[in-house]
Amino acid sequence: MHSTTRLNDLREDFLATSTQSMPIAGIIYWAIVAVAALRVAPQQLAYIVGFGSGTIFPLALLIDRLRGRTIRRSSTSNPVTQMFLQSLAVVALLWPLVLIAAFQAHSANLIVLGGAILMGIIWIPYGWAANDPVGLRHAIARCILSYAASSSSPRPTPPQPSASPSCSATSIASSSCANPPSRSEANASFIGERPVKRNRGKSRMYRQRMVVAAR
């Protein structure tokens, strides 16, 4: 009984020393991201999500000040507060994994998806620290909806290879543009040697003569 009372006191101290306007700040932030997604390119949206995620906490503090709520200075001796801060460090350490995956896949949408997932996971330790089960429910629902939205979103079409600048509109039908040189011919011309032209008909007749001679 004493341990339970002690934990409840620590949770009350955590709530008194932390902002409670994070949900409002998160709604404002993701509303801005949703509007930006309709107007900017995916690469620019990835920058907004990546760098803008750090503005949620200062925005929540500003909302608390506008609401007239005073936040006491947090105590580092509170283990509940320490647990929550360490959870923030875990989420920050996962950001490089999201960035590496996005660069390897050449997809800026992975940064948006990763940001939505990581910023949703942080509600799990916050909900436990605040003794509120809504944090866990919010994180699970957010992850499911984020994965569903990502899987149902249209895939960007890969860029088509453009024609060589040396092939003008009037020379597209010529043999040099319509039939590009083979790899051996290209390598030979690159190193300054004379390319060897292949003649499949003569090569086939030569092989037949060699078979008849062997008999």
163 part of a folded domain: no
Shared domain for 25 and 88, answered yes or no, is yes
Shared domain for 117 and 194, answered yes or no, is no
**Which residue among 122, 152, 182 closes a domain?**
152
Range of the domain at 68: 2-152
For residue 67, what pLDDT is reported? 83
**Which residue among 103, 125, 152 closes a domain?**
152
Shared domain for 209 and 109, answered yes or no, is no
Shared domain for 108 and 63, answered yes or no, is yes
For residue 53, what pLDDT is reported? 84
Shared domain for 104 and 180, answered yes or no, is no
Per mean pLDDT, which range of 7-16, 62-71, 177-186 is the poorest? 177-186
For residue 16, what pLDDT is reported? 83
Shared domain for 88 and 141, answered yes or no, is yes
Domain count for the chain: 2
**Which residue among 111, 126, 152 closes a domain?**
152
Q: What is the pLDDT of residues 63-115, one digit of tens each?
A: 988 888 776 676 667 888 888 889 989 999 999 999 999 999 988 889 999 99
Shared domain for 66 and 95, answered yes or no, is yes
Residue 142 — pLDDT band, cuts 50, 70, 90? very high
Shared domain for 112 and 44, answered yes or no, is yes
Q: What is the pLDDT of residues 16-73, one digit of tens each?
A: 888 888 888 999 999 999 999 999 998 899 999 988 888 888 898 889 888 887 766 7
Can you give the three-state secondary structure of the chain, one letter per residue?
Answer: CHHHHHHHHHHHHHHHCCCCCHHHHHHHHHHHHHHHHCCCCHHHHHHHHHHHHHHHHHHHHHHHHHCCCCCCCCCCCCHHHHHHHHHHHHHHHHHHHHHHHHHHHCCCHHHHHHHHHHHHHCHHHHHHHCCCCHHHHHHHHHHHHHHHHHHHCCCCCCCCCCCCCCCCHHHCCCHHHHCCCCHHHHHHHHHCCCCCCCCHHHHHHHHHHHHHHHC
Shared domain for 135 and 196, answered yes or no, is no
Residue 201 — pLDDT band, cuts 50, 70, 90? low
